[in-house]
Structure 1
């Protein structure tokens, strides 16, 4: 029986690496299966759709204003009312969602570049370089993002680029500092030392071995930077160093009406509610994505990476096992008769 099983070729086990599409489908399905993930996907999906639609269409033009319609409440013509100039609040909020989406995505990309660059220096094999990067990061993190934006606004004025640079720099340094323990643990691991001994370059080691081990921390921090960039935009715009006057954004919709919140609260409630929901959704999205990408927390992700048995060889295994079982039973019966 043992010899019969050994005769079966090892080719019966076919290791198939799942495609990126399969992996992405499993991750999205896992996120959708949980309430927090479903909520974040729905909210962020609506945000993206509205932001794209606002590029080509809004209920009323942004340059439309009518003094006789100033501070009106919600109606069929103005779904969220009007501001002090008679402009449609919903149209400005739609266009503002496009600007905020661009700010969030750009801030996340810049945060990732700064964070990974500083993180690679922090886990450098050079002790002096690593400690110097840690000290420099701690010193720069102590500088508030608002102060960096003020320093940039002095020579360049209130620009979206300056706000993105200030947010990306601050969040990127924080990302590097938070992810450093995970990166250090991976950089000192035996498999990284083995990869270096086999001639792997420092860049390959960092991207192929160190970053994947720090991926959960990086995902959460990037989602947090996207959410915080929306709050930073609202705060910096209110201070006059964010989105320039005349350009739509969620922060601009809040800042233009916050002075009269006690008289006309709806003009502030709507953009404030949108900002709150988006911030919560982005935070939940990061947590859900982290859990869905973790094979230890996502059984479906483990299953697609397991070896698969070829059907023909599996049937052959079954036939051999049946024959062996029948033979063993006959031998037992023959021994019993004797």
Structure 2
């Protein structure tokens, strides 16, 4: 019976999520982005570094849908591969932040006491720095590159997950079912795995979606400054930087990479808002009440 109820709740959650047209469209955009991230090398019609100077600065056409850059390279091919690189860095860095941040937050919230105080003071110090400034400091120490960018973005977003996980754990650890499990002799690892983590997953899933959006922006900003993905591998931020001297004569060099960043970030944010409406009980009740009124 419990399994059936859980399955019914899961199905109704997906239905409620997809009934929102904005969330449904954002989910469709993210599916397309995921396909591009997996198969960009096969989808690209030209080589990303195929130089064709006689065809430089061509406007969008049937042979080059997004036009060409100052070296005659196909911008569509470079945008596709750049999206793949941005998604790879964003996903790996956010996974790093989730693993480290959630571990710190859950341990601090569950154990409490001096350990909670020490861990969260360290997190607060990291959180006090502006995101880009902290990332720049990490890259300045370790040097530019894709691996360093992943580590920098991961470190920057670790405090966010630590605070979300701790706040959620503080609310769960006092629940009666946790006390009952502890009274039955269950170990801390069992309680964390069986009771705490499943019940704090909602806010963490929403935060993951939002952090992926900001990770894309952070990677683009670092690449724009020349500290992220290094040439000859294309990156969206670097493409925008290279287009600065050609804005008046070749608008497509800046518009298409910028549009890719805008669509991906907007889709992640809209999808995160939809997830919050479904996974947050208060938000879900409000959404369901509005739908019943209609």
CA distance in 2, matches of 1:142, 1:260: 38
Cα separation, 1, equivalents of 2:158 and 2:119 = 13
The answer to whether residue 262 in structure 2 is matched with residue 281 in structure 1 is: no
Q: Specify the alignment match of 1:41 in structure 2.
A: 27
Distance 1:80 1:186 in 2: 51
Deviation, structure 1 residue 21: 8.2
1:231-310 residue pairs with structure 2 within 5 A? 231-293=217-279, 297=284
Residue 270 of structure 1, CA deviation:
1.1
1:96 aligns with 2:82: yes
Match of 2:54 among 58, 63, 68: 68
In the alignment, what sits opposite 1:109? Answer: 95
Distance 1:18 1:157 in 2: 53
Is 102-111 or 238-247 further displaced after alignment?
A: 102-111
Distance 2:239 2:7 in 1: 39
Displacement, 1:180?
A: 2.6
Once residues 187 and 99 of structure 1 are traced to their aligned partners in structure 2, the CA distance between those partners, rounded to angstroms, is: 40
Corresponding position of 2:139 = 153
**Which structure 1 residue ranges, 5 or more long, are not aligned?**
1-14, 299-338
> Equivalent residue for 1:315?
none
Q: Give, in whole Å, the separation in 2 of the partners of 1:222 and 1:284.
A: 13
| Range moving further from structure 2, 277-286 or 188-197 | 188-197
Higher relative contact order, chain-length normalized (CA < 8 Å, sep 6+): 1
Q: Describe how 1:1-338 pairs up with structure 2 within 5 A.
A: 15=1, 17-18=3-4, 26-154=12-140, 156-293=142-279, 297=284
Per the TM alignment, residue 182 of structure 1 is displaced from its structure 2 partner at its CA by 2.4
Which whole-Å CA distance do the structure 2 matches of 1:69 and 1:261 have between them? 17
Question: Contact between 2:127 and 2:159, CA under 8 Å: does it hold in 1?
Answer: yes
The two structures, once aligned, show a CA RMSD in angstroms of: 2.6
Alignment coverage as a number of residue pairs: 286
Task: Map Cα deviations across residues 203-260 of structure 1 (whole Å, 9 max, x no partner).
Answer: 2222332233333321221111100011001100011110112112222322221343
The 3-state SS of whatever aligns with 2:144 is coil
Between the aligned partners of 1:66 and 1:25, the Cα distance in structure 2 is: 52
Over residues 48-105 of structure 1, what are the superposed CA-to-partner deviations in whole Å (9 max), with x where a residue is unaligned? Answer: 1223331224111112121122222111111111111110100100111111221222
- The aligned residue for residue 289 of structure 2 is none
Q: Rg bigger for which structure?
A: 1
Structure 1 Cα separation of the partners of residues 186 and 248 of structure 2: 64
Residues 149 and 241, structure 1, Cα contact 8 Å, conserved in 2: no
- CA apart distance, 1:286: 1.8
Question: Which whole-Å CA distance do the structure 2 matches of 1:201 and 1:251 have between them?
Answer: 48
- State the partner residue of 1:316: none
After superposition, the Cα gap between the structure-2 partners of 1:193 and 1:241, relative to the gap in structure 1 and judged at 3 Å, is same
Structure 2 counterpart of 1:301: none
Query: How far apart are 1:112 and its partner, in Å?
Result: 0.9
Change (3 A) 1:18 1:258: farther
**How many angstroms apart in 1 are the aligned matches of 2:133 and 2:277?**
35
- Unaligned stretches of 5+ in structure 2? 286-294
Q: Supply the distance in 2 between the matched residues of 1:35 and 1:198 (Cα, whole angstroms).
A: 47
* Residue in 2 that maps onto 1:5: none
